[in-house]
Amino acid sequence: MIEAVLFDFGGVILSSPFEAFAEYENEIGLPPDTIRKINTTNPDTNAWAQFERREVNPEEFVLLFEKEALALGHELDAQRILEGLHGSLRPLMVEALSKCSSKFKTAMLTNNITPMWEQDLDQDVQKVVEIFDLLVESSIEGCRKPEEKFYEIACERLNVNPENCVFLDDLGINLKPARAMGMTTIKVIDPEDAIKELYEILGFTSD
Same domain for 191 and 106 = yes
How far is Cα 174 from Cα 43, in angstroms, rounded to an integer? 12
| One-letter amino acid for residue 176 of the chain | K
Same domain for 102 and 178 = yes
> What pTM value is reported for the model?
0.86
How far is Cα 84 from Cα 179, in angstroms, rounded to an integer? 29
Domain CATH for 60 = 1.10.150
Write out the residue range of the structural domain in which residue 156 sits.
Answer: 4-15+88-202
Asked which of 83, 99, 119 is the last residue of a domain, the reply is 83
Q: Domain count for the chain, please give it.
A: 2
Asked which of 43, 59, 83 is the last residue of a domain, the reply is 83
pLDDT of residue 86: 81
How far is Cα 139 from Cα 75, in angstroms, rounded to an integer? 27
96 contacts 198 by C-beta, under 8 angstroms: yes
How far is Cα 25 from Cα 44, in angstroms, rounded to an integer? 24
For the beta carbon of residue 40, count every other beta carbon within 10 angstroms: 13
Q: What is the pLDDT of residues 14-68, one digit of tens each?
A: 998 888 899 999 999 999 999 999 999 999 999 999 999 999 999 999 999 999 9
Low-confidence stretches of the chain (pLDDT beneath 50): none
- Decide if 207 is inside a domain: no
